Amino acid sequence: MAFAHINGIVVHYELLGDPDARNLIVFSNSLGTDFRIWLPVFDELADNVSVLVYDSRGHGLSGGADKPFGMDDLVEDLAGLVEHVGIKKAVFCGLSVGGLIVQGLYAKRPELVRKIVLCDTAPKIGVADTWNARIKAIRDNGMASIADGVMEKWFTPHFHEERDEDLDGYRVMFERQPASGYISTCEAIRDTDFSDILPTISVPTLLVVGDQDGSTPPELVRAASERIPGASLQVIEGCGHIPCVEQPEALAALIQQFIRKT
Ligand SMILES: O=C(O)CCC(=O)CC(=O)O
């Protein structure tokens, strides 16, 4: 557990392993979560892989929830953290809004990026009306008021039935995110369209999606994969929007295979 001042906020992060390892993966979390969603994947990765995880602005123990922010801030935070830690080049893996942040990082700082894993994400996620309705619901009634709907998109019915303790735990994680940080992140997603960035990506890229993802469904992720030269797509069966929690072994195996290729 570590903290750094980056772009005027405190960023909570953890570096697991050697920052100079060739197989260094930087993970960027999704909306309404913190970096703990990646720990089940880290547990499944080989010993020669090191990992940097962090809480994005307005989430977890990172600061910045008190002032509005946008996608540029989220991208600058990631670049600033990577520099702070002394990483020259890494594999970047982003989940959902984390995937948008990674796309934005590639556009601004391609020299930092060795390979990309885009997990349950797209260049544009959702439409303005839906984001505005979600923001209004939280302003009117708080985070807990939308938690049921969010959990339905995050996890499959099987997860809801068989892993009720985990479901309750991740619901608590969601409900504890600062509403203002969550709202700014919704606005950042609403206002972002990175469609033009995808064809410019020239590093090896893997896209992964859960077959039952209710937030960024397989067809959306497939369309994104078709815009990135040479990218490959893998669909994880029996999985919703958060494969790092629901199917960490499957996700880690795909990542491991991908980073092994030159
Ligand atoms: O998960 C994200 O980062 C954004 C996509 C989304 O809306 C997922 C959710 O329903 O919370």
ipTM of the complex model: 0.93
Number of Cα atoms under 13 Å in the Cβ half of residue 4:
19
Mean pLDDT of the chain: 96
User: Ligand 1 pocket, 151 CB below 6 A?
Assistant: no
For position 49, which CATH number holds? Answer: 3.40.50.1820
Average pLDDT over every residue of 138-157 = 98
pLDDT in tens, 69-119: 999 999 999 999 999 999 999 999 999 999 999 999 999 999 999 999 999
Choice from 28, 31, 242 to test ligand 1 binding pocket (greatest atom count within 8 A of CB): 31
- How would residue 48 be classed by pLDDT, with cut points 50, 70 and 90? confident
- Give the per-residue pLDDT at 20: 66
Average pLDDT over every residue of 61-74 = 98
Q: What is the rounded radius of gyration, in angstroms, for the C-alpha atoms of the chain?
A: 17
* Atom 6 of ligand 1: nearest residue by CA position: 215
Per residue, the 3-state secondary structure of 135-181, as one string, reads HHHHHHHCHHHHHHHHHHHHCCHHHHHHCHHHHHHHHHHHHCCCHHH
- What is the whole-number distance in angstroms between the Cα of residue 130 and the centre of ligand 1? 11
How far is residue 37's CA from residue 248's CA, in Å, rounded to a whole number? 10
When divided into structural domains, the chain yields a total of 1
Domain that holds residue 227: 2-260
State both tokens at 40.
């089940």
Strands (DSSP E) contained in the chain are 2-6, 9-16, 24-28, 50-54, 90-95, 113-119, 205-210, 232-236
Q: Quick one: which of 102, 114, 52 has its CA closest to 258?
A: 114
| Ligand 1 atom nearest residue 99's Cα | 3
